[in-house]
Structure 1
Amino acid sequence: MNRRQLLGGLLVAGAAGSIAGCGLVDPGPSVPAVAADPLEALVTEKQTMLDLYEATLAAHRDLAARITPLRDAHREHRDALLELLDARRRAALARATPPVPGPSTGTSAAPAVSGDPASALVALRQAERTASARSRSACLAVTGAGAGAGDAAGAAERVVVLGSICAAEASHEVALA
């Protein structure tokens, strides 16, 4: 192979790479990017609340009658928020969210819970206060901008669900007092 053939081959290879880089050669099906949805953070927070309630129940079985309904409400909140996300966001969130900690998954330990039942209730009440504030902020964001709802009906549905969650979390604080 002489120098002219080598340079010609490099030129052809470079041109082919440029054409492929410009999209003239089909690289195969592409997956469109999925925009972030502000409700994703709330879904993750509800899972965190569930984990805290589960850990508290495991540490203090005597509190079960008092806190099990609150834990179940957070599960319902998480599931309602998941329903508001489109299918691609739910799938992406499921892939990004680690499994719930526990002995069967072998993942990290559950949240630390005080050995004192009264202190454990104080920690739950503080977590509820924080969750309530975040839910209120999300509700206000949805009413202000539609926050990814795509249409007025979607925004209205989000407001209704978030309003219900805000009210429930405010009552959780009272129930834990």
Structure 2
Amino acid sequence: MPWTTPLRPSPSRRSLLAGAAGAAGAVLLTGCTGGGDASGADGGIPLERRMREDAVRDSERLLERYDATAAAHPGLAGRLAPLRAAVAAHTAALAFADPAAREPAARPGPPSAAASGAAAPAPGAPGAPAAGGEPVPQQPAEALSALADAERSLSEARTIALAGAPGELARMLASVAACGAVHAYLLTSTPGAAS
């Protein structure tokens, strides 16, 4: 009887996916630790600085949305004040005056209606544009929902940005993204309701 070589079983889909994931991970790790240009490709601005500037800008837009919502619905100002204060703290933590010195930048701003609890001027009336040109919904529940959507979207964007962020900034973005997810929950939950 002639001797034949046994057929090799074809690789399973699971092993192919595991191999592809491992190769992708190796490429990502090589990119993070390799001899590439750590200063980033955008005109010599370091990656961390660009990412921080983007994060600060996004947080400032979110603060504007909080202010517009509180101005349009003064009855919500008390509920929004602690969440807005947290977003302001995130903005300050993400900003560096001098990236080399690693000192937070001072970002003073006008006190908002949400922070002061006072009624805001007419530009924030229901239907007036919030940050990004989107109008504040006329119903308070819809306004809270729109604000929760903004928090949720920013939280998701920051979670995605973690993959390319340097270590310290990645940890900060993860923490801020988690806070944003909690804010979205708090904005859409009924205060005082038993769970």
Q: Name the TM-score class by shorter chain.
A: 0.5 to 0.7
Alpha-carbon displacement from aligned partner over 1:8-56 (angstroms, at most 9, x marks no partner): xxxxxxxxxxxxxxxxxxxxxxxx9534522221111100000000011
Q: Runs (4+) of structure 1 moved beyond 2 Å?
A: 32-36, 109-112
Q: Residue 159 of structure 1 aligns with which residue?
A: 170
Asked if 1:77 corresponds to 2:90, the answer is yes
Q: What is the TM-score normalised by the length of structure 1?
A: 0.58
Task: Name structure 2 gaps, 5 residues minimum.
Answer: 1-42, 111-119, 122-128, 189-195
Bigger helix fraction: 1
Alignment of 1:40-59 (within 5 A): 40-59=53-72
* Higher RCO structure (Cα 8 Å, ≥6 apart): 1
Q: Deviations over 1:65-113 (max 9, x none)?
A: 211111111111111110386279x9xxx9xxxx9xx98xxxxx75331
Is the contact between residue 43 and residue 81 of structure 1 (CA under 8 Å) also seen in structure 2? Answer: yes
Seen in structure 2, the aligned counterparts of structure 1 residues 133 and 116 have a Cα distance that, compared at 3 Å, is same
What one-letter code is carried by the residue in structure 2 that aligns with 1:125?
A
The residue number in structure 2 matching 1:86 is: 99
Write the letter of the residue equivalent to 2:164. Answer: A
Residue 158 of structure 2 corresponds to 135
TM-score (norm 2): 0.53
The answer to whether the Cα contact below 8 Å between 2:69 and 2:130 also exists between their aligned partners in 1 is: no
Letter in 2 for 1:53: Y
Larger CA Rg, structure 1 vs 2: 1
Aligned to 1:39: 52
Mapped to 2, the partners of 1:85 and 1:70 lie a distance apart of 27
Cα distance in structure 2, aligned partners of 1:45 and 1:54: 14
Structure 2 CA distance for aligned equivalents of residues 167 and 133 of structure 1 = 9
Q: 1:84 to 1:130 in 2, by over 3 A?
A: farther
Paired with 1:131 and 1:84, the residues of 2 have a C-alpha distance of 23
Q: Which residue of 2 is the match for residue 113 of structure 1? A: 136
User: Are 2:171 and 1:171 aligned?
Assistant: no
Q: Report % sequence identity.
A: 35
Q: Are residues 85 and 123 of structure 1, via their aligned partners in 2, closer, same or farther at CA, if it must alter by over 3 Å?
A: farther
Change (3 A) 1:141 1:84: farther
Q: Which amino acid aligns with 2:173?
A: L
CA distance in 2, matches of 1:123, 1:50: 13
Is the aligned partner of 1:65 residue 2:78? yes
Deviation at 1:169, TM superposition (A): 0.6
